Amino acid sequence: MTAAPAALPVSSGPTPRSGAAGAPASPVLPALQIGRHTVGSPVVLAPMAGITNRAFRRLCREYGDAGQASLAGTGPNHSLYVSEMITSRALVERTPRSMQLIEHDPDETIRSIQLYGVDPATVGAAVRMLVSEDRADHIDLNFGCPVPKVTRKGGGAALPWKTDLFRAIIASAVKEATPYDVPVTVKMRKGIDADYLTFLEAGRIAEGEGVAAVALHARTASQGYSGEADWSAIKALKAVVTSIPVLGNGDIWSAQDALDMVAATGCDGVVVGRGCLGRPWLFTDLAAAFAGTTARVQPTLGQVAQTMRRHTEYLIDFHGSEFKACRDIRKHIAWYLKGFPAGRDIRAGLALVDSTAALDDLIAGLDLEAPWPGDPAEGQRGRAGSPRRVALPDGWLDSRGLNAASAAVVAQAELSVSGG
């Protein structure tokens, strides 16, 4: 089995199903404007650690662009595809891993990078490097990570509680990016927990400091990915932040979910994370839905296997190693096979695959004619977990300002985050 060409028509992968209203119709939303960039389909691929590398972004782009054109007949309708989170400190130090993570394909027309940082000077230096060396067209700042090793040091979703630090980081990034006309955006959560909400004030601060858009994952850090996203918070943020786009994130598992979010909140676009795991053709559905059509993708197991195989080829190109690529694809296997019939032995073998030859042999053992299973393949993807107490620095919640003790803890935050 060989990889499909990069300019993938949907008919050679998962095939579309068009309803009576499948012809082009009036767009549901206008194009999304992020600074100087016009994003035809108001959809953003959320940064996900270990997922949204160059290989996965390529796969999603194929379905979002070529697939949408085939379905709706309106030509490419680009979405925005953001890199996984990269720590500012590692980028300034030019670690090999961080330099790999900021790589883009030649045809990524909006090179989008998400940065994590807790020190205004370091974030500013990282932004300066990216824009002065022409390595990015859009920079997103991460203030939404709920991982304990990040929040324990005052980073991620914990950071907007310290309004002076939050403001200083954004101001530093915008100052460095503005001369190069590179827009800066912010992604955040509702707050630390139900008692310590930060999103409304954070949205006002971000807007005032000149960001081009704000995205809200409508959960708190304490929720992680559990429970339901509170879409009413997105609506509330939209009422407060009026001069720039407000994007909604959380519980978009299908194109209909995206349409429902827009209807419920009035948001200007959507950010899709776990909903596209093992399902990159969701970007075909989303582009078609926002173009006003009812065309949707319902692949057979054989077509899903083709996509999984192509994903592996792209990972080989990204990692420069077949073995590393096969180790990487393992975590995607269960997402790709969700709802489909596949024997326990084949699933177990795929979870341990170490070569493309082994992958091909295991794929050959699947019932490749099996149709799209419907509801069993829909809904939540990835682990939801359960609510938990957020790990924070001692005394973090005592004030909204950054005192000496808090500053000392924060200074170590970037050093504690690995992987980029």
Bridging pattern class, strands 184-189 and 138-143: parallel
User: Distance between CA 184 and CA 215 in Å, rounded?
Assistant: 12
User: Distance between CA 247 and CA 179 in Å, rounded?
Assistant: 25
Three-state SS for 109? coil
Three-state SS for 17? strand
* From 60, 145, 267, 276, active-site residue: 145
Q: Which residues contact 403 (CB under 8 A, 6 or more apart)?
A: 395
The C-alpha R_g of the chain, in whole angstroms, comes to 21
User: Distance between CA 125 and CA 81 in Å, rounded?
Assistant: 23
How many CB atoms within 10 Å of residue 30?
Answer: 12
User: Distance between CA 244 and CA 246 in Å, rounded?
Assistant: 7
Catalytic residue check, 326? no
Q: Which backbone phi and psi does 300 adopt, to 5 degrees?
A: -80, 170
Residue type for 69, please?
A
Q: Which of 113, 55, 64 is nearest to 84 (CA)?
A: 113
- Burial (CB < 10 A; 0-12, 13-18, 19+), residue 49, is middle
CB 136 within 8 A of CB 130: yes
Largest pairwise CA distance in the chain: 64
Distance linking the first and last C-alpha atoms of the chain = 33
Q: Which backbone phi and psi does 37 adopt, to 5 degrees?
A: -95, 130
Tell me which residues are annotated as active site: 145
